[in-house]
Homo-oligomer: A and B are copies of this chain.
Amino acid sequence: MNGEIISTGNELISGRVADVNARFAAARLHDAGLMVQAITFLGDAAPLFQTTLSQALGRSRFIIITGGLGPTEDDITTAAAATALNLPLCQDECLLARIKECLKARRLPWEERYARLSLMPEGAIVLDPGGAACGFSLKHGGCWLFFLPGVPRELQYLFDQFVLPALLNVAAGREAVSQRTLRLFGLRETELENILQKLCPMHEGVTVGYYPDFPENHLTLTARGPQPEVLEATLDRLTEDLTLQVGEALLATDGATLEEIVGVALRRQQLSLAVAESCSGGLISHRITNVPGSSDYFQGGVVTYSNQSKIDLLGVPADTIARYGAVSSQTASAMARGVRNVFRTSVSLSATGIAGPDGGSPDKPVGTVYLGLAWGERVETRQCYFQGNREQIKILTAQTALDWLRREIRHAQGLSVH
Interface set of A (CB-CB < 8 Å, partner B):
10-19, 22-30, 36-43, 45, 48, 52, 55, 59, 70-74, 105-108, 111, 113-114, 151, 188-190, 193, 209-212, 214, 220, 275, 277, 280-286, 288-290, 292-295, 298-306, 308-309, 312-313, 342-344, 355-358, 385, 387, 390-391, 394
Contacts and interface: CB of A to CB of B under 8 A. Distances in A.
CB-CB nearest 4 A-B residue pairs: A281-B289, A15-B27, A282-B285, A15-B26
A390 B190 contact: no
Contact of A210 (B74, B190, B286, B303): B74
Given A18-B18, A295-B305, 9 more contacts: A15-B30, A15-B36, A19-B23, A22-B41, A37-B42, A111-B190, A292-B356, A293-B358, A313-B313
Given A14-B36, A23-B15, A313 B290 contact: no
A25 B283 CA distance: 30
Nearest to A301: B303
A342 B16 contact: no
A283 B390 CA distance: 16
A12 B39 contact: yes
A39 B40 contact: yes
Given A289-B305, A313-B342, A13 B27 contact: no
Nearest to A274: B309
Given A189-B70, A193-B73, A210-B72, A15 B28 contact: yes
A48 B37 contact: yes
Contacts of A305: 289, 294-295, 298-301
